[in-house]
Amino acid sequence: MREVLAEAAFQLFLDRGFEQTTVDDIVARAGVGRRSFFRYFPSKEDAVFPDHERCLADMTAFLEEADGGDPVGTVADAARLVLRMYAANPEFSVQRYRLTREVPGLRTYELSVVRRYERTLAGYLRERFEGERDGALRAEVIAASVVAAHNNGLRSWLRSGGEGDPYAAVDHALGMVRGVWSGADQGAALPAAEDEVVVMVARKGAPMWQVVQRIESALGQG
């Protein structure tokens, strides 16, 4: 029934427009009563995103069952559950993406859903980094980075009309996040805003004196 109502609602949104469609229109199309609609969806907006509650539950369960490995890799894998949900029905996902671009209220609702995913990932990371220096801050930053990277790749695929491999762009974006945060010294403080960071590349096998000389030169001490 949930899927029947969601399908009826979405088709009406496409045919008539979101604002012009009422709950009465939806239940008439689905052949059920108003009470049936509100048993499954608190509002019209929820009918546009019928699968996010289940995906949030799946993500929570995934994180609860995760082993003690790389926490950044774990939250990146958890984010892929959202991609899998979108990729399971490309046509619907592309239509929904276009609809949310046209209706400001749906865009606001979508952002609230994204924030719930981010809070779920950050909660897991806070537990993993508990007691570590800047642990809570690191958890928030990494969770936001994972969500931003995932959404960048996902929306690129949606804008293409669902063409090609949806996982390629997302995996590339998430790989950047893992490259920055995975394996980092979790006990180290984040660099202060005013700190200078010097990146130096040396040839493999270069003698240590040469490496030190190049660092001193970069720091203006040579």
Residue whose pair of structure tokens reads 């559950």 in the numeric block: 81
- Which domains are delineated in the chain? 2-47 (1.10.10.60), 51-181 (1.10.357.10), 196-222 (no CATH)
In this prediction, residue 208 carries a pLDDT of 52
pTM confidence score? 0.76
Q: By C-alpha distance, which of 5, 79, 93, 80 is closest to 43?
A: 5
In this prediction, residue 195 carries a pLDDT of 46
In this prediction, residue 218 carries a pLDDT of 58
Contact partners, residue 138, CB within 8 Å, separation at least 6: 125, 129, 132, 181, 186, 190
In this prediction, residue 220 carries a pLDDT of 54
Tens place of pLDDT per residue across the chain (222 aa): 888 898 898 889 888 888 899 999 999 999 998 998 999 988 888 888 888 989 999 999 999 999 878 999 999 999 999 999 999 999 989 999 999 998 888 899 999 999 999 999 999 999 999 999 999 999 999 999 999 999 999 999 999 999 989 999 999 999 999 998 876 544 444 444 444 455 555 565 555 545 555 655 655 544
Can you tell me the distance from the alpha carbon of 89 to that of 79, in angstroms, rounded to the nearest whole number? 17
In this prediction, residue 1 carries a pLDDT of 85
Residue whose pair of structure tokens reads 């959202």 in the numeric block: 82
Nearest-Å Rg of the Cα atoms of the chain is 23
SS (H, E, C) the chain: CHHHHHHHHHHHHHHHCCCCCCHHHHHHHHCCCHHHHHHHCCCHHHHHCCCHHHHHHHHHHHHHHCCCCCHHHHHHHHHHHHHHHHHCCHHHHHHHHHHHHHCHHHHHHHHHHHHHHHHHHHHHHHHHCCCCCCHHHHHHHHHHHHHHHHHHHHHHHHHCCCCCCHHHHHHHHHHHHHHHHCCCCCCCCCCCCCCCCCCCCCCCCCCHHHHHHHHHHHCCCC
In this prediction, residue 23 carries a pLDDT of 93
In this prediction, residue 152 carries a pLDDT of 94
- Sign, CA torsion 70/83/98/39: negative
